[in-house]
Amino acid sequence: PDSVPILRRAVMVFASVTRLMRRPAAIFLNSSRLNYDEALDFSRLSRLTNLTLNNVDAMTSADEIAEKVISSDAEIVTTKEMEVHASAVEKFPSTVKLMCEAGTGFNNIPIALARSRGINVVNIPTYSTESVAHMVITYIMNFSAAMFQQAKMLHDGDQKNFYVFQHPIYEITGKKLGLIGGSGTIGTAVADVALPLGMEILISSRSGKLPKGHKYEDHPKVK
């Protein structure tokens, strides 16, 4: 009789260890949106989970989304810039505990509904921060030098620009760059690149001022 409680505790410990060692089932609903060139290596994720890759760019049917999640027994559902309809989430089994957006924004996921069903929702807030900031500055510099217009002229065989500039060209040093709601991660990264180029930064926010402790709170060229 004394061995029964010990055996019960042993079984409970074994069950707990088994749960910890078990890899959760996961599905990436539209992996081709991220892995468009099939160059990504999912092996590390596969070692952590029983991973199912649904190699499509997007899914639009709520029923199809729900069916994929159900058939994979997924506990983790990952998407990339794809709308997951509320009607699909309502059909998710109780096994689903986590939804991951493989990017920054997750307005494509019905967060309140998911959380009401015990599903945590996460994203990757620092995804491609520098790339986006560099793209912003690249466009600004292209506009300042009329690169698009000049490239089109060359493409069309028009060489008038070699003799007299046909489009305005200006320096960006001293120019004001307005960032609407730009006190976040990406806006700050844009300012990181623009300031060394001599630009002045104007940041708008709902509070009317930069958040306390922001790195540019007291910078003379940031307002």
- The answer to whether the predicted template modeling score (pTM) of the entire model surpasses 0.85 is no
**Sign of torsion over alpha carbons 61, 64, 70, 75:** negative
Q: Facing residues of 122 across strands?
A: 100
CA distance 20 to 203: 47
pLDDT tens-digit readout, 68-124: 999 999 999 999 999 999 999 999 999 999 999 988 888 899 999 999 999 999 988
Under 8 Å CB-to-CB from 121, ≥6 apart: which residues? Answer: 98, 99, 100, 101, 106, 109, 111, 114, 115
Instruction: Answer for the pair 132, 110: CB distance below 8 angstroms, yes or no.
Output: no
Averaged pLDDT score across all residues of the chain: 87
Q: Pairing relation of β-strands 25-28 and 50-53?
A: parallel
User: 109 and 85 in contact (C-beta within 8 Å)?
Assistant: no
Q: What is the pLDDT of residue 146?
A: 86
Dist CA 112 CA 131 (whole Å): 30
Measured at the CA of 140, the angle between CA 137 and CA 146, to 5 degrees, comes to 140
Residue with tokens 């807030």: 125
Q: For position 1, what pLDDT does the model report? A: 46
Instruction: With cut-offs at 50, 70 and 90, classify the pLDDT of residue 126.
Output: confident
Say yes or no to pLDDT of 3 above 50: no
Among 116, 68, 58, which residue's Cα sits nearest to residue 88? Answer: 68
